[in-house]
């Protein structure tokens, strides 16, 4: 355990770090490691309506210190306001049945990986003083948490990530539309999904979100076996959402399968790029620091 802690948690094998604790604890370790040595955002929030106090952090403006509390209890706290935030962000998470798959018991399922990634992203946004919300969807929209910058938002998100889902279909357009309705001014929307969805309907909604001024980032979650089809025996391929079964010899279909998957990835990348949307292919054996770095870079490009 001490050896693990000596290394940056965001660069440890995802299955190994996930086995060390619950989502909340693991996300804190990962984000702490990711932020190690990084400077806080220089942007300052602005005040509209008082919401709560939070501990003073180096770099906070002294005008927001609550001097009365400091005099009474020698505690340094800052007045935080409902709209004290750099931006509003929403994480849209696919929890459909296809996300529960893994090609190896040594790896996390796509869903387990995506849930921990969503928790890390949410905590990273909150550490940057951004407001963040969460949308979960499968064959319906399961969770709608509007973006908030309050400290209690982290608990709400972790609680939601532990709720059920796994309906057969993936209603990504409905999830994205729900996120768009929760952000009333220009913000950021992050879709985390295996993209086993109807592309045209997703792209239509993404273009609408971009037209409204939102930055959209798509994190395409794949198990390594989904790209390579490494198995060598005969198999029955089952669509986990439609339950369609197709028997085939893996050796006979491997080359065509890899070509088809590669073309699908290229099509997603090209179509999303054409709409001004950031696209990243994320493998479930990649340390969490990889997608965090890419999402954080996208967030830093916001004006």
For the segment 181-240, what is each residue's pLDDT rounded down to a tens digit?
999 888 999 999 999 999 999 999 999 999 999 999 999 999 999 988 776 665 556 655
> pTM score, two decimals?
0.80
The tokens for 18 are 């996930």
Instruction: List Cβ neighbours of 223 (8 Å cut-off, separation of 6 or more).
Output: 101, 102, 103, 104, 107, 110, 283, 284
CA–CA gap between residue 172 and residue 192 (Å, rounded): 10
Range in 35-49, 69-83, 158-172 with the lowest mean pLDDT: 35-49
Domains and CATH numbers, the chain: 50-81 (no CATH), 88-300 (3.40.50.410)
Residue 191 vs residue 52, higher pLDDT? 191
Relative to beta strand 77-81, strand 50-55 is antiparallel
Query: Nearest 10 degrees: CA dihedral of 202, 290, 103, 279?
Result: 20
């Amino acid at each position: 355990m001490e050896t693990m802690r000596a290394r940056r948690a965001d660069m440890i094998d995802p299955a190994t770090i996930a086995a060390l604790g619950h989502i909340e604890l693991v996300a804190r370790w990962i984000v702490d490691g990711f932020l190690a040595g990084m400077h806080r955002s220089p942007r300052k929030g602005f005040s509209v309506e008082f919401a709560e106090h939070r501990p003073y952090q180096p770099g906070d403006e002294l005008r927001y210190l609550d001097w009365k509390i400091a005099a009474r209890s020698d505690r340094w706290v800052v007045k935080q306001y409902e709209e004290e935030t750099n931006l509003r962000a929403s994480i849209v998470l696919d929890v459909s049945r296809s996300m529960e798959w893994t090609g190896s018991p040594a790896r996390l399922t796509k869903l387990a990986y995506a849930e921990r990634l969503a928790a890390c992203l949410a905590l990273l946004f909150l550490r940057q003083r951004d407001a963040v919300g969460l949308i979960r969807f499968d064959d319906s929209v399961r969770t709608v948490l509007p973006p908030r910058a309050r400290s209690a938002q982290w608990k709400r998100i972790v609680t939601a990530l532990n709720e059920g889902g796994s309906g057969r279909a993936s209603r990504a357009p409905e999830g994205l539309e729900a996120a768009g309705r929760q952000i009333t001014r220009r913000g950021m929307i992050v879709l985390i999904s295996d993209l086993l969805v109807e592309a045209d309907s997703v792209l239509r909604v993404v273009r609408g979100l971009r037209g409204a001024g939102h930055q959209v980032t798509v994190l395409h979650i794949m198990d390594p076996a989904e790209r390579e089809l490494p198995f060598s025996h005969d198999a029955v391929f089952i669509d986990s959402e439609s339950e369609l079964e197709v028997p085939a010899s893996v050796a006979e279909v491997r080359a065509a399968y890899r070509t088809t998957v590669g073309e699908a990835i290229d099509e997603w990348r090209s179509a999303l790029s054409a709409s001004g949307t950031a696209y990243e292919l994320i493998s479930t054996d990649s340390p969490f620091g990889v997608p965090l770095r890419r999402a954080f870079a996208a967030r830093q490009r916001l004006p």
